[in-house]
Each structure stands twice: as structure tokens, then as C-alpha cells.
């Protein structure tokens, strides 16, 4: 069980590579903080921790865990919140099932995930598991809007040490393909509620019978409420056409979705793509595969596992594969395709990586090829389409001279599509979906067919106002070109423009801001940073997510090094540490070679901000000094090239933690604001310097051999500590 005393700073327990790195880094943080009388504790928001917390009645007393996510959800609504939030798994269905099986194998008597629940008990179990899937963490913690940017030290280092970029040519056949109609963008309607209201969502069949899909959805006054749907027939037709067109062009076929964050709609769209890819197989063996439990939404990998004993189905799959265009690969060596697992290809990581590589994707032959990037919905696809067109015309971005794109993101209180999961439905039969307020007003209505995906999203007035004022503050602090990425021709964005413009005018700063649709804003931003100038992208929630991968990957080679500050609306602070898209690969490398490539630079940046915020918000001078010294240590890691190497046998994540600790201690010992603090860190700095040779040697000796963590989703604490803290010399100094 977790200690429920609320510490000064909470460092979240998460998943995969960031959590492994924590085993090495957290003891260092706690040692330094304790010297200043500051407590640093943990709360478990990992996938395994959330699963365990959801089913206490199935577990022994020793196995039970409190619901730390719920606790943090309350804490972020207070001025006392100071949370360092590392990337966690937004689990897809297959990941959730894999985590359950691992925990069961470790002795946790958890129920299986019910694929087709029938009893009330099974439906309850399914509902509890489904609440854990996808973006279960971020909407709870993000009670504020986002300020994401490259820290100054990180940007300077990237310009002085530019990463390799793929070559773009005008002859590239790489492209983005989206639906010509029938998508979420084209069907969207939006309205701003003048008063607080509750609503129900109903499906009315052609005979007038009404099925309630959702009731009691509450909205405060001023909420912008959207509704839209994607036509299943239009989607299927589009996918069939793109498969054929890709075959004709000789490029790779790839699908780019976010089945993790968009945990209801995108797995369904992904399933349509799997079904389209294997259309002749489903036409011939659909009933047989259904009897075997095949669900296309779970991906090609799960499908192949379920039909592995049916040679006739496997033969038909192979015949269809031979007739299809080559497919974009996640792992060519292991035969893992773009359609294997819905969470393997996440658009905000996959598209920037492909663009950085000159528009090239890996094919089944293990070589790079031009690619048809299929992004069905047009809401955000134009960003990637315009970026590709820009680089075809102008060549790759030069990281040595490029300016930067910062981001102010509207995300508080489950804003926009990322909060739409409870109001997203796969329509069971033809009819009309209506959203009706408690006073009888019908605010949205759409004619739908069976299989269509209908969803409603919303954003509240207070977060919108906070977002605009955060943008005003950031523009004033920097003087950078500032653009609201809003499309007057999109229903939702048109409503936001009505709210944004009066605030800018009332504050007398309307002339400091531009409003552009995402396509035009993409080109304007790329033109700006190509000149070496800087800009601020002021965006909604999904674009915040997408752009804070796209531009950092082009500018810095990674988004994991971004400084991400969430100014909570009640006065607290949430400090996020960057993206975790590469985390699974880093875990595989550690297990097989003993080398952890994960870069904790994002943690270093967030740590400095967290300590400084603590010092300012609670008048704790020592905390502020720790934060300032952490920034000096971060600069030292960069200036002295102490970041992890790429290959086993090179310094890795654990080495970077040693160097950060050493530079941090030296900065604290050298500062003159607090002589007591300086004196307490002088011996630590001396010991870390004198132990350098032995510590580095001990850390290197831990590599080039497989390691046992005792679990992927729920690693054994003792085994994890043994692997991630392999230097007795460093441990003795820190402990």
C-alpha cells in the first residue's frame, strides 16, 4: 500500500523505460531533496497499478493498492499540487490483456478480460477494465492548460550538434491520403450552450423507437459541445480505394491512428483497415473467424494467433498478402506490420519520424520506401500533408539553423476529442442520433447507418479563457509570432474563434495574434523556423499532442526532451517529462543487451521546474536553489555530452544519472545564496568526483548481457533495482 502522507513533490510511478529509469534516478532526487528538508514521494499511475487498484475484492490484503490516480485527480484541483508526471502507457486492448495475463502469472487472482460479457458481473468487470484503457490518466491529471517548449539549453545543444535528417526530393511519392467525405471533419456540428444543462443522446430508428445511448451528460454554462460521425461505408470504400491506388503507385501502405488516446473510435477505424486489407479472407471465412474469436479491432497479430491452426485460412491470407501493396513495417526483422497491433503505430510518433526520414518508411524487405500515409479523418491530417508538401518543395529542415515552435495547448478538464470516450458509439442500426437537452432543445442530429462511429466532444468556458490568457502571457514574455491554429470552416473551431477574439480585443492584443487553419498554420510555422525565427502554436488538445512531437522531432530529433509545464487552474503545478513513444524499444534493448538508451533529459528539465515552483509557491528558498542548480546540471549533461549512447557498451541512462547528480552536487556546493546548503553538498560533490572511475566502470560492466526484470508491466522491485542500480560505489554515496 502507498503511504498517503502527501509529499512536497510527487514523482509518478509509470511504465516501461521511464519507470526503469526512475529506479536509478529517483533515489538521487530523494537524497538531494532530503538535504533541503523537502519530501519527494511516489504515486502509482502505471497500467499494472491501475489494474490492481480496480479489483481489490479479487486480491489478498498484501496485493491490494489504493487508487492513486483518483487521489491525484483530487490533488490537481488544489494549489498544493506539485507533480512530476512521466509518460505512462495509454493501453490498447492487446496491451491491457497482456498486462492482465502477466499479473495473473505473478499470482494476482484477477478476472480475465471479458470479450463478450453476458452476465451483470462480466459487464461490470468489462466496464472497469475499459476505464483503464486508452487515455485514462491524462484527462484526470490535466486540470490546466499546456505550455510545451524546448528548454533553452536543449535547443542550443541541438543547434550546435544537429542530428541527421533524411533527404527530401521533389520526386518523392510519399503522400497523405484522407477521406473525400463522410469523415468526422465533414459531418461535425458545434454549438455553445448559453446555460448549464444536462443532455441525453438517443438513437431513433426509422419507426420512431428510441434507444438511449447516454443520459445525464452535464455541461456548465458556456460549454462548446460538438457532435459528428464517420460513415462506415465511406470509410470502407476509401480504404479499398487506397489499397488499390497504393498498389498502382508502388509505394508502401500505412495507416496512422491513435488507438491509445482515442480508445473507442480509433480501434474501430483500425479494425476497418484490417478488414479491408484481408477483405477476400473475411468474405470467405468470416463466420469461421468469428467463431475463433477474431476481432479485427485487435489487429492482424491477434487474428493470426487465433487462426494459427487453420491452414486453409492461413493460405488464403498469404494469397491476399501477395496481391496487396507492400505494407509499412513496425519491425521488418520480426514481420510486425503496420496493422499488427493498434497501439504499435501512434500517429504523433510515426508521422514525424517518417517526415524526419525524408518521407521514407520501412518495407517488408527491410529497405526504406516512399509511403502512402493513410489518415482517414481530415481534422488534423492537413498538418502532415502540408509538412510533406513543404519539404518536397524546400528540402529537409536544417536543425543547426532552425528556429523553434513552442505550444500553448487547450487541454484542461478533458477538452475536445480526448474527452469524448464516454460519448462515442458504434451505431447498431440505421436511424438518427440526437443530442437533446433537459429542456427539450435538440442541439445535434445526424442521420446514421449501422456501423457508423458517432461521437460528441466538448470544452468548457473556463479552460478556454485560461488558455487564451496563457497564450497572451507567453507571447508577451517572448515576442514570438503567435498563431491560433483554428479553422473558420470547421464547426468546432468556428465556435472557439467566437470566444477567442473578444478576449484578445478586450486585452488590447488582437494585433499580436494571427488565426489560421491548421494547413496554413503549418506552412507559416515551417517558413518561420526555416528562417531561423520562432513561433508559438496555440492549439486545441489533439494538435497540442501532435505538434509537440512533430516539431521537436524535426528540431531536436526527439520529443522526450521537451519542457512541459501544466499550469493547473487552481494554482498547482504539473510537470510532464516528454513523450514515451520509444519506450517499448528501449525496454527490449535493456532486456537483451543490458543497455538502457532512454534519455532522462525531460525528467531533468521537469525536476528543475518543479523545485523552482515549490520554492516560489511555498516560499521555500532552498527548493528554488535546488531547481536552479538542477538547470545547471542539465546544461552540464548537454555541454559535456553525457546523454545516453545508442549501443550496448556505450554510456547509457544510468551514466547520465551519475553525471547529473555530480553536476547538481557541484552546483549546489558552489552556490553562495545558502552557505548551509553549500556546506552539506560539498562532501557529496567530492565523493562523486573521486568515485568517477570506479562508478563508470561498474556501470559499464552491467551491460552486454541479458537482464531479468521479473516482468514487463509489473517488474519485480528487487530485480529492477539490481539492474538499474548496478554500481555499489554510487549506491553507497547516494544512500
Specify whether 136 is located in the same domain as 240. Answer: no
122-152 pLDDT per residue, tens: 999 999 999 998 778 888 888 999 999 998 8
- Same structural domain, 133 and 239: no
C-alpha 456, offset from chain centre: 21
Domain match, 255 and 365 both = yes
Phi-psi map region of 195: left, alpha, beta (phi>0 left; psi -120 to 50 alpha): beta
- What confidence score (pLDDT) does residue 582 get? 66
pLDDT at 226: 98
480 has pLDDT over 90: yes
pLDDT at 564: 86
- At residue 580, the pLDDT reads 56
Our count of domains for the chain comes to: 2
pLDDT at 240: 98
Q: What is the pLDDT of residues 385-435, one digit of tens each?
A: 999 999 999 999 999 999 999 999 999 999 999 999 999 999 999 999 999
Q: Bridge-partner residues for 426, per DSSP?
A: 453
Which band of pLDDT confidence, cut at 50, 70 and 90, is reported for residue 2? very low
Strands 9-13 and 82-85: parallel
Residue 502 lies in a domain: no
Let me know if residue 214 belongs to a domain: no
What is the pLDDT at residue 1? 38
In the listed set 342, 376, 410, which residue is the last one of a domain according to the structure?
376
Q: Which of 637, 566, 627, 622 is nearest to 84 (CA)?
A: 566
User: For residue 153, what pLDDT is reported?
Assistant: 83
Length of the chain: 735
Which of 357-366, 518-527, 562-571 shows the lowest per-residue confidence on average (mean pLDDT)? 562-571
Give the residue from 326, 355, 376 where a domain finishes.
376
pLDDT in tens, 579-630: 655 678 889 999 999 999 999 998 999 999 999 999 999 999 999 999 999 9
**CA nearest 22: which of 39, 8, 41?**
41
pLDDT digits 0-9 by tens, 677-710: 999 999 999 999 999 999 999 999 999 999 999 9
Residue 626 lies in a domain: yes
Confidence of residue 94 (pLDDT cuts 50, 70, 90): confident
Taking 90 as the threshold, does the pLDDT of residue 578 lie above it? no
Nearest to 180 by CA among 370, 360, 332, 374: 374
| Inside any domain, residue 420 | no
Start-to-end Cα distance in the chain: 23
Bin 218: left if φ > 0, else alpha if -120 < ψ < 50, else beta. beta
Inside any domain, residue 167: no
Residues 139 and 1 in one domain: yes
Assess if residue 556 is contained within a domain. no
- So what's the pLDDT on residue 579? 64
Host domain of residue 338:
231-376
Beta strands (DSSP E) in 256-394 are 329-331, 336-337, 360-362, 368-374
Phi-psi region of 265 (alpha: psi -120 to 50; beta: other; left: phi over 0): alpha
**What pLDDT does residue 77 have?**
94
Distance of alpha carbon 264 from alpha carbon 447, whole angstroms: 20
pTM equals 0.87
Q: Does residue 457 lie within any of the structural domains?
A: no
- State yes or no: pLDDT of 88 exceeds 90: no
Q: What percent of the chain has pLDDT over 90?
A: 88
Q: pLDDT class for 514, splitting at 50, 70, 90?
A: very high
pLDDT averaged over every residue in the chain = 94
Question: pLDDT tens digits, residue range 294-347?
Answer: 999 999 999 999 999 999 999 999 999 999 999 999 988 889 999 998 888 889
* Last residue within a domain, chosen from 376, 408, 425: 376
Distances from the Cα of 122 to the Cα of 56, 206, 273, 682, 734, angstroms: 16, 32, 29, 60, 48
196 in any annotated domain: no
549 contacts 579 by C-beta, under 8 angstroms: yes
Distance CA 499, CA 494 (A): 9
Amino acid at each position: 500500500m502507498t503511504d498517503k502522507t502527501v509529499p512536497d513533490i510527487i514523482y509518478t510511478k509509470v511504465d516501461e523505460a521511464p519507470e526503469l529509469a526512475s529506479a536509478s534516478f529517483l533515489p538521487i532526487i530523494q537524497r538531494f531533496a532530503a538535504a533541503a528538508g523537502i519530501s519527494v514521494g511516489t504515486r502509482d499511475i502505471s497500467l499494472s497499478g491501475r489494474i490492481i487498484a480496480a479489483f481489490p475484492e479479487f486480491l489478498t490484503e498484501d496485493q491490494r493498492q489504493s487508487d492513486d490516480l483518483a487521489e491525484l485527480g483530487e490533488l490537481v484541483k488544489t494549489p498544493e499540487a506539485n507533480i512530476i508526471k512521466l509518460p505512462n502507457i495509454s493501453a490498447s486492448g492487446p496491451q491491457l490483456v497482456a498486462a492482465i495475463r502477466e499479473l495473473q502469472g505473478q499470482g494476482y487472482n484477477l478476472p480475465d478480460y471479458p470479450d463478450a460479457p453476458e452476465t451483470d458481473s462480466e459487464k461490470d468487470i468489462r466496464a472497469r477494465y475499459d476505464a483503464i484503457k486508452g487515455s485514462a490518466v491524462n484527462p484526470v491529471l490535466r486540470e490546466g492548460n499546456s505550455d510545451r517548449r524546448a528548454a533553452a539549453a536543449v535547443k542550443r545543444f541541438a543547434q550546435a550538434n544537429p542530428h541527421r535528417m533524411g533527404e527530401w526530393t521533389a520526386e518523392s511519392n510519399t503522400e497523405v491520403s484522407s477521406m473525400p467525405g463522410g469523415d468526422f471533419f465533414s459531418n461535425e456540428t458545434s454549438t455553445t450552450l448559453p446555460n448549464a444543462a444536462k443532455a441525453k443522446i438517443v438513437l431513433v430508428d426509422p419507426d420512431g423507437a428510441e434507444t438511449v445511448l447516454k443520459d445525464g451528460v452535464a455541461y456548465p454554462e458556456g460549454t462548446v459541445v460538438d457532435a459528428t460521425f464517420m460513415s462506415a461505408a465511406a470509410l470502407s470504400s476509401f480504404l479499398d480505394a487506397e489499397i488499390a491506388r497504393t498498389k498502382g503507385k508502388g509505394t508502401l501502405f500505412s495507416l496512422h491512428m491513435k488507438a491509445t488516446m482515442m480508445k473507442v473510435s480509433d480501434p474501430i477505424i483500425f479494425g476497418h483497415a484490417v478488414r479491408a486489407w484481408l477483405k477476400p479472407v473475411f468474405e470467405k471465412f468470416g463466420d469461421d473467424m468469428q467463431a475463433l474469436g477474431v476481432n479485427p479491432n485487435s489487429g492482424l497479430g491477434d487474428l493470426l494467433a487465433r487462426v494459427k491452426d487453420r491452414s486453409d485460412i492461413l493460405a488464403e491470407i498469404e494469397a491476399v498478402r501477395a496481391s496487396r501493396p507492400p505494407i509499412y513495417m513496425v519491425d521488418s526483422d520480426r514481420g510486425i506490420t503496420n496493422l499488427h497491433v493498434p497501439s504499435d503505430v501512434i500517429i504523433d510518433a510515426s508521422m514525424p519520424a517518417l517526415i524526419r526520414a525524408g518521407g521514407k518508411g520501412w518495407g517488408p524487405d527491410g529497405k526504406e520506401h516512399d509511403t502512402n500515409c493513410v489518415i482517414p479523418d481530415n481534422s488534423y491530417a492537413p498538418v502532415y500533408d502540408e509538412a510533406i508538401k513543404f519539404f518536397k518543395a524546400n528540402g529537409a529542415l536544417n536543425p543547426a539553423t532552425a528556429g523553434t515552435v513552442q505550444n500553448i495547448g487547450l487541454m484542461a478538464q478533458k477538452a475536445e476529442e480526448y474527452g469524448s470516450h464516454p460519448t462515442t458509439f458504434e451505431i447498431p442500426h440505421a436511424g438518427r442520433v440526437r443530442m437533446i437537452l433537459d429542456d427539450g432543445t435538440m442541439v445535434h442530429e445526424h442521420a446514421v447507418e449501422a456501423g457508423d462511429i458517432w461521437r460528441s466532444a466538448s470544452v468548457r468556458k473556463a479552460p478556454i479563457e485560461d488558455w487564451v490568457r496563457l497564450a497572451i502571457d507567453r507571447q508577451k514574455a517572448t515576442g514570438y509570432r503567435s498563431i491560433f491554429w483554428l479553422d473558420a470552416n470547421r464547426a468546432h473551431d468556428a465556435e472557439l474563434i467566437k470566444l477567442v477574439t473578444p478576449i484578445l480585443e478586450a486585452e488590447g492584443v488582437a494585433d499580436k495574434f494571427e488565426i489560421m487553419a491548421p494547413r496554413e498554420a503549418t506552412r507559416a510555422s515551417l517558413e518561420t523556423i526555416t528562417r531561423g525565427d520562432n513561433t508559438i502554436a496555440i492549439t486545441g488538445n489533439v494538435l497540442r499532442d501532435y505538434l509537440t512531437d512533430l516539431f521537436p522531432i524535426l528540431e531536436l530529433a526527439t520529443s522526450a526532451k521537451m519542457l512541459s509545464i501544466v499550469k493547473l487552474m487552481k494554482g498547482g503545478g504539473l510537470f510532464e517529462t516528454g513523450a514515451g513513444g520509444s519506450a517499448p524499444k528501449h525496454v527490449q534493448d535493456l532486456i537483451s543487451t543490458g543497455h538502457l538508451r532512454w534519455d532522462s533529459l525531460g525528467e531533468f528539465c521537469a525536476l528543475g521546474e518543479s523545485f523552482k515552483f515549490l520554492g516560489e509557491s511555498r516560499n521555500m528558498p532552498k527548493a528554488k536553489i535546488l531547481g536552479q542548480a538542477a538547470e545547471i546540471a542539465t546544461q552540464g549533461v548537454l555541454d559535456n555530452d553525457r546523454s545516453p549512447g545508442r549501443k550496448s557498451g556505450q554510456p547509457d541512462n544510468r551514466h547520465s544519472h551519475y553525471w547529473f547528480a555530480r553536476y547538481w552536487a557541484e552546483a549546489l556546493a558552489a552556490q553562495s545564496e545558502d552557505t548551509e546548503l553549500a556546506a552539506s553538498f560539498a562532501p557529496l560533490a567530492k565523493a562523486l568526483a573521486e568515485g568517477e572511475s570506479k562508478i563508470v566502470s561498474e556501470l559499464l560492466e552491467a551491460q552486454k548481457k541479458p537482464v531479468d526484470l521479473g516482468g514487463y508491466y509489473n517488474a519485480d522491485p528487487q530485480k529492477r533495482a539490481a539492474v538499474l542500480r548496478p554500481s555499489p560505489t554510487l549506491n553507497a554515496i547516494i544512500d
